[in-house]
Amino acid sequence: MQQLRLFIASALCLVTLTAWRLPAPPEPPPRISARAWAATAGQGAVADVIVTAPGYPDLSPAYALRTKEAKTRFVAQALLAHAERAQAQLRADLAARGLSFFPLWITNQIVVRGVDRPTLRWLGARRDVIHIDLDEQTRGIERVTEYRHPTPHSLLPTPNSPGITEWGVRRVNAPQVWAMGYTGQGIVIANLDTGVRWDHTALKAQYRGWDGASATHDYNWFDAAPATGNPPSPVPVDVNGHGTHTTGTAVGDGGPGNQIGVAPGAKWIACRNMAGPTGIGSVARYIACFQFALAPTDVNGNAPDPARSADITSNSWACDPDYGELGCDVPTALITATQALRDAGIMVVASAGNRGSACRSVVHAPATLDQAFTIGATDSSDAIAGFSSRGPSSLTGRIKPDVVAPGVGVRSARPESPANYGLSSGTSMAAPHVAGVVALLWSAAPGLRGDVETTEALLRQTARPLASNESCGGVSGASRPNNTYGYGLVDALAAVHAALSAPVVTAPAAVRMNEPFTVVISATNVTPLTRTGVVISSSLPATLTLISAEPPGAVNGETISWKLPDLAPSSALTVSMVVSAAQASIVTHQAHIWFDGLPSPVAGSPTTTVVSGYRLIFPFVTHNPR
């Protein structure tokens, strides 16, 4: 018996020593992430990966371009051209191997599907690949449990509104802006979400693909998140309902009793970045939809056209690793794509998240990013929702949200039938309110379209301040901004009033060379707020000679500026200058105004003066010979 015990002990020791001496799993090659390497371990294991190619173009020249069209065209062309050069051979070799892939040229990456271990090794050994990571699929919609059965909404008539509107639309003062003639006309909002039921009665007329008689889905819809095993849908669909609801809040109008949208005169396009009933997204899907907003394609993802780009993207989702094993645990994964949109003059509006009342609960992109305008949620009494995430941003430490908007018990479109509506709560419902407000603002002041920085500053400065007894990130809840409400409740009317404070220039239509003429610049504060730090400036081309200015201005090169007193509500300021031109030309006059610390000025509409040369009149002389 003793010998048997010794034999068993020796055998166990041998097994233990043998196991101890087993070689450790091989480390991944240098360019391959550990999680991508692990995902392809085992017989027959395959994974979707994101392959990054070398280099990235300089997009900073877009900042100096004046129009949104010019910014978008420059950015898209620069990105497309660089990716074509950097990825050309890789794309050709992937196609030759029969691999399924999709270029993410906005980030100079390619998502390659169904990659096994030998293919991963082959990719990692290439000189035209600098990094490979796993594209893990995760749930992108943060569910709200506090308000599964919100208090039934009440529809109340509102003065200045055409019919009856939802409470959130009224709360952001959209109907008053409609009464001024601005409903979002000329602006395109891209809903990047679970898809949209495009033929819903509140959405069909606003769909850019609908001309009143037939639908064209190319360049208006792209499916970046088809159901597993299915091809992308060539027609807008929404099996979840989230995207239909958020689109309705931004632009929907189902007629009296169903006026659900903030900007019913705007158009919408859509890209599905989350699949299935639970909304499963991934980094590649999110990037693909940002790319579509920049340069829409046909429904197969081909022939990108920046001339048909969106103006605003509405993003009610979170790149959240907590809903999957890995996923979006690289906090900077979406910075490159969102910065490209910002450079292109496209505004990224994002929900803050539904992580609750704890400080530093704004933890997932795009809400955490400086490149996104982040929105928290309030109820009908302007109190912060219990689920609304608080700042500061876990990534940057800066104050988030930027502003808040209605997000509790919001009624909007549902996809179950073309005339179905329902209630939902979440910061997902707040973000499209702000996307709609931006559309109203840009339709009222087209000169701001594409100027994302100034637009964000206007929305912050004109938001209705809200204080909290919470203090987060070392910032008192009584401060403005704070990490509960940001700068406050977004206010469409106040923002439009601020934008319409742009200066007006009057000047003679025609003068002669060397003839003095007067240019008058006036600005009226149409808002109920006192404007501080007011500066008016105007161009002073080299062809003009400044004779005098009233009041005296400061001349710096080809610009004259006036630093003026604070501008009270309903007050006006007027400055003037006397100039002359020494040569025939067409002189363009345009004035700008800074106030309230805006990072860039609000521009007024230009006017022109034609300067003509003197006509030389010779007397008629007859020769009188003697």
Which residues are identified as catalytic?
Answer: 193, 242, 428
Strand partners, 480: none
**Cβ–Cβ < 8 Å for 334, 287:** yes
- Measure the CA angle with vertex 466, ends 461 and 469; round to 5°: 135
d(CA 322, CA 225): 20
Strands 517-524 and 504-506: antiparallel
**70: which 2 tokens?**
């010019």
**518: which 2 tokens?**
């007067």
H or E stretch covering 167: helix 167-171
In order, the DSSP letters of 11-55 are HHHHHHHHHHTSPPPPPPPTTB-HHHHHHT-STT--EEEEEEPS-
Contacts of 347 (CB under 8 A, 6+ apart): 311, 312, 313, 341, 373, 438, 452, 455, 456
**Residue 236: closest CA among 250, 218, 262, 248:** 218
d(CA 264, CA 302): 30
**Residue 350: closest CA among 296, 395, 380:** 395
Please list the alpha-helical segments (H only) found in 486-546: 492-499
Cα dihedral: 257, 263, 264, 267 (round 10): -150
Contacts of 417 (CB under 8 A, 6+ apart): none
